[in-house]
Structure 1
Amino acid sequence: MYWTGLSPDQAREMLAEKDKSKRDKRTDLASAVRKFVRDGYNVGIAGFVNSRQPVALIHQIIRQGFKELTLSFQSAGLGPEYLAGAMLLDDSRCSIKRLEFAYWAHESFGISPLFRHLTENGLIELEDWSNFNMSARFKAGAMGIPFIPCRSPLGSDVMRANRSQVMQCPFTGTPVALVPASHPQVALIHVQEADIYGNCRLQGPLFTCPEIAMASGHTIVTCERIVEHEEMVREPNRINIPFFAVDAVVEVPFGAYPGNCHSHYYFDDKHIREFRAAGEAFRKGDSAPLKEYYDRYILQVVDTEEFIDRIPYSQLKHIQKIELRDFMLIQDAPPELQRADNGRDD
């Protein structure tokens, strides 16, 4: 058995030695990435497809440049696609070596042209899992066990593309699949609210973010807003990620843009299509649009604030208005439906 991030023993040792005190963990994007990301790291990307993707952190990783990264995620779109574009434009500064994942695309916006280019040209290693399998791997990592048994991926050929093993269940005598724990060296997570110590409160789907945070050696959290600790602990049952799992907190409004952040803003259809069109042009042999996109929105800006300054105000207003309308409809719904929305993990 080989481990592409931390081994279970290494992760356990890190957790035992980690400073778990309640301290102020606020910092800036550049400092957080500089401190916790290294060449060759296994990077856990939280969120789901283009919802609550840690875009601000990914952009900062691209600005600083890291090579030979392994990316571990359940389903993602914007996060790995941005890294793929950086690699294809200049792999001497930023590159992906390996993927451990279930899905990489943009759902209603279409397939990922840059992922397609990477795979068709054999530029990255792939380890294919189902969404449930990757969730189970992060769950095993969060629980501190080296593997977890599950019925999936039995009955499919996905086992030919990953490290899962089959054994006979000692209790039932039937076959059971074992999937190895995933322990990224660092997790990148965007949330709606966090306090200065790293307690995080999520709204809407959880997207396996708590498990990724608990499974990783270090966790960087960006948030739409930092709330007072007293407000955070007033409802302790709503804290989805505990402070001791978090190493850095960065307040970054629009930190998941142009993706969706539930209760704050919807997908920016226009901007996502602009980025995807540049990627499609690259796949077809024209690198100019992609280079122009990266220069304008990532490499020639210092941080997310400058990135957002380059987006027309009308677009930002529109996606906030759409999301606020939907959020208010949820708030006006019966209490049992509100609870279902705030606590679901789909």
Structure 2
Amino acid sequence: MYWTGLSPDEARQFLANKDKSKRDKRISLKEAVQKYVKDGDNLGIAGFVNARQPIAIVHEIIRQGRKDLTLSFQSAGLAPEYLAGAMCLDPAKNSIKRMELAYLAHEAFGISPLLRYLTENSLIELEDWSNYNMSARFKAGSMGLPFIPCRSPMGSDMLKTNRAVVQDCPFTNRPIMLLPASHPNVALVHVQEADIYGNCRIQGPLFTCPEIAMASAHTIVTCDRLIEHDDMTRYPNRISIPYFAVDAVIEVPFGAYPGNSGGLYYYDEKHIPEFRNACEKFRKGDRAPLQEYYDNYIFGVENTTEFINKIPLSQIQYVQKIEPGIRLDAAYTVLGS
């Protein structure tokens, strides 16, 4: 067995020695990436497909450049696609070595052009799992277990694509699938609300985000809104990720854009196709649109505020207007307005 992040023993030792004090964890996003994300790291990408993807963190990683990354996620779209695009444009600055995943695409917006490009040209390693399997691997990591038993997907060819082991159960004498724990070096998480200590409140589906944070050596959290600690602890049962699992907290309104953040803003149905179309043109041999996209929206800005200010105001207002649910606070307004 080999481990692509921390081994279970390394993770247990690391977490035993980790500073779990309640302290102010606010730093800039640039500082967080500089401090915690290193070449060769295994990055646990939270969110689901294009919902609550850690886009602000990924854009900063691209600006700083990181190589030989392993990406571990259940189902994702925009975050790994952005990292793949950066690799396609300049593999000397940004590169992905491996993906451990269940799904990489954009659902209603189409399949991932760059996953297709990278795999067809044998540029990355892939380890294929089911959605439930990846969730279970993070669950094992969050519990400090080296593996977790699972029945699925034993009736498929999935065993040919990953490190799972089938053994006879010592209690039933029937075959059972054992999944290796996943311990990323760094979890990348976006939530709606957090406090300065790192407690996080997620509105809507959790998407295995708590397990990814608890399984990882370090966790960087961006939040749409930083709230007072007293407000957070007023409803302790709503704390989705506890402070001791988090290393850095950065308030980044629209930190998941152009994906959605439940209750605050919907997917941008104009911008996601704009990005995906540029990726598809690259796959077909036209580099210019993707390079132009990155030069304009990622390398041409310092932060998410500047990125959002490049988007037509009407698009930002629209994704706020159509997102179902109750607005968490009236303070959510268009950046720069």
TM-score, L = length of structure 1: 0.94
Gaps of 5+ in 1: 330-346
Q: Residue 328 of structure 1: CA displacement?
A: 4.0
Match of 1:327, SS state, is: coil
Structure 2 distance, partners of 1:2, 1:89, is: 31
Q: Is it true that 1:300 corresponds to 2:300 in the alignment?
A: yes
What is the deviation of 1:147? 0.1
Residue 76, structure 1, aligned to residue 76, structure 2? yes
Q: Which ranges of 4 or more aligned residues in structure 1 deviate by more than 6 Å?
A: none
Q: Does 1:278 find its partner at 2:278?
A: yes
Equivalent AA in structure 2 for residue 283 of structure 1? R
1:222 alignment partner, SS class = strand
What is the rounded CA distance, in whole Å, between the counterparts of 1:223 and 1:153 in structure 2?
35
Q: Deviations over 1:136-165 (max 9, x none)?
A: 000000000000001012111001000000
Q: Does 1:22 align with 2:40?
A: no
Structure 2 residues not aligned, in runs of 5+: 328-337
The aligned counterpart of 1:266 is: 266
CA–CA distance in structure 1, aligned partners of residues 204 and 32 of structure 2: 26
CA distance in 2, matches of 1:171, 1:112: 42
Give the SS at the match of 1:189: strand
Q: CA deviation at 1:280?
A: 0.6
Is residue 33 of structure 2 the alignment partner of residue 38 of structure 1?
no
- Mapped to 1, the partners of 2:267 and 2:103 lie a distance apart of 19
2:290 aligns to what SS in structure 1? helix
For 2:184 and 2:144, the matched residues in 1 are separated by: 13
Number of aligned residues: 328
In 2, distance between residues paired with 1:103 and 1:14?
30
Equivalent position of 1:327 in the other structure? 325
Q: 1:76 Cα shift? A: 0.2
Distance 1:217 1:152 in 2: 28
Give the CA RMSD over aligned residues: 1.0
Cα deviation for residue 253 of structure 1 reads 0.2
Q: Separation in 2 of the partners of 1:114 and 1:28?
A: 30
The one-letter amino acid paired with 1:149 is P
Give the alignment of 1:193-342 within 5 angstroms: 193-323=193-323, 326-328=324-326
Give the secondary-structure state (helix, strand or coil) at the position aligned to 2:176. strand
Structure 1 residues 70-149: aligned runs within 5 Å:
70-149=70-149
2:9 corresponds in structure 1 to 9
Counterpart amino acid of 1:114? L
Q: How far 1:167 moved relative to its partner?
A: 0.7
Secondary structure in structure 2 of the residue aligned to 1:249: strand
Distance 1:181 1:285 in 2: 39
After superposition, what is the alpha-carbon deviation per residue over 1:58-110, rounded to whole angstroms, capped at 9, x for unaligned? 00000000000000000000000000000000000000000000000000000
- Counterpart CA distance in 2 for 1:289 and 1:64 is 22
User: 3-state DSSP class of the match of 1:58?
Assistant: helix
Q: Separation in 2 of the partners of 1:248 and 1:316?
A: 27
- In 1, the alpha carbon distance for the partners of 2:4 and 2:152 equals 21
> Equivalents in 2 of 1:167, 1:257: separation in Å?
44
The CA distance in 2 between the partners of 1:135 and 1:156, in whole Å, is: 18
Alpha-carbon distance in 1 for matches of 2:253, 2:154 = 42
Aligned-pair identity (%)? 72
Q: How far, CA to CA, are the matches of 1:259 and 1:36 in structure 2?
A: 24
Counterpart for residue 162 of structure 1: 162
- Write the deviation string for residues 151-187 of structure 1: whole angstroms up to 9, x where unpaired: 0121110010000001111111111000000000000
Counterpart of 1:48? 48
Equivalent residue letter for 1:287: R
- What is the CA–CA distance in structure 2 between the aligned matches of 1:250 and 1:328, rounded to whole Å? 23
Kindly state the Cα deviation for residue 118 of structure 1 after the two structures are TM-superposed: 0.5
Larger helix share, 1 or 2: 1
Offset at residue 13 of structure 1 (A): 0.6
Partner of 2:189: 189
Counterpart amino acid of residue 159 in structure 1: L
Aligned partner of 1:166: which letter?
V
Distance 2:158 2:226 in 1: 41
CA distance in 2, matches of 1:43, 1:33: 12
Matched letter for residue 263 of structure 1: G
Deviation at 1:300, TM superposition (A): 1.0
The aligned amino acid for 1:219 is T
Per-residue Cα deviation, 1:305-325 (whole angstroms, up to 9, x for no partner): 1101100000000000001xx
